[in-house]
Structure 1
């Protein structure tokens, strides 16, 4: 069973005024352990697609099925809980909580899941060590570089033991060194931990590392290029 499947996914904004067709019947399957980039020009529907399969937006028509669950069948509260339990998010703007330290930011999602504080602290520390921030756990976002903040964001995304991670332009604000380090870390998690990653990106550096590249043009899949199978497949 696919981790993610969309069927006839359509999204129209401003339906009653000047309609904007962001997605036009997208059929897509993402299997476990994929390292996939969704690419295309600005306005092609990349972020809209990620938002819908992440349960952050709803389609005008069609379905988004995640781990066998049609997201349209969930109430608002059920959808919030589903995202919390199944999906990790990494955003372009990091979206860290400014008043919390790195370890507190990572622990926050687990606390929302109702896990014991001791477990939250232990796992947060372990994740930050794994992303190379063992010496920054008590630093707030303002004291971290962009690359370090994005690493915290990745650790936070992984803290909930998600079925997959959605990364929307995760390298857009990073320099070349930070981008390479971040992609190395994500590729390592994909290969060794079998973590599924789906990127929305313009960044050629991300595209070059992806094992599958899905190209959107005018809200439709124009090309689906599978470059190589997962090394552990």
Structure 2
């Protein structure tokens, strides 16, 4: 009696909440008569508070997968649910709004607004969200301090080193209190010391604020820090390892 579903029971930490659910995800490009499956039938769940690296050779589909997770690119088929929202069902205006409220982005090229100071760059998303000035300022200063840039809040990007600009980008990604942060090769342009600093900061934020980080990376230093490593090859997941 009641043993028929026995095989579905897996040892699992049930306190963790799945925040991203990807089912049967495909992204196909028709490139000069040849179909390229950039993402080829991916099923994946990401839980709240994960610190996950997606790795694989160039062309394995890492960035494409990240862009679809961030709603920057549409799947050819399959679906992505974030909490209870099916990204595929959102109109483009709803998607922009959803992204702004729920997802933080960190790119390898920093993408800071050159005419704005560090503080203004971090505040920008909260400004768009219509948060009150006091709240914006308090959160911005808290984040700049968290990323080790207290005292540099009035510096423009051109006056900051690459590592400092990337830390501003991390603070900006976190400003909106997103459900998760997508970081695409965030250490690609950084030296070892800056990379180590940045990773320590992100790991600390992950622990303290329970912020979920998903990296796509070639960088072994990021892989060493990650708590879960997902390897893609030809658009398919070939391994998925959680570190104890």
Fold match (TM-score > 0.5): yes
Whichever of the two has the greater Rg, that structure is 2
CA distance in 1, matches of 2:84, 2:105: 19
Write the distance in 2 (CA, Å) between the matches of 1:59 and 1:95. Answer: 24
Aligned to 1:132: 148
Select the residue among 105, 112, 119 that pairs with 1:103: 119
In structure 1, the partner of 2:50 is 34
For residue 4 of structure 1, the aligned residue among 3, 20, 27 is 20
CA distances 1:51-75 after superposition (whole Å, capped 9, x unpaired)? 0011110100100111121100000
Q: Which is worse superposed, 63-72 or 11-20? A: 11-20
CA root-mean-square deviation? 1.0
Greater displacement, 15-24 / 136-145: 15-24
Aligned partner of 2:12 in structure 1 is none
Query: Residues 16-165 of structure 1: matches in 2 within 5 Å?
Result: 17-165=33-181
Partner residue in 2 for 1:184: 200
Return the offset for 1:16. 7.4
Q: State the Cα distance separating 1:121 from its structure 2 match.
A: 1.9
Deviation at residue 20 of structure 1 after TM alignment: 1.6
Q: Give the TM-score of the pair, scaled to structure 1.
A: 0.96
TM-score calculated relative to the size of structure 2: 0.91
Matches within 5 A, 1:169-180: 169-180=185-196
The match for 1:198 is 214
Q: Distance in 2 between matches of 1:92 and 1:80?
A: 21
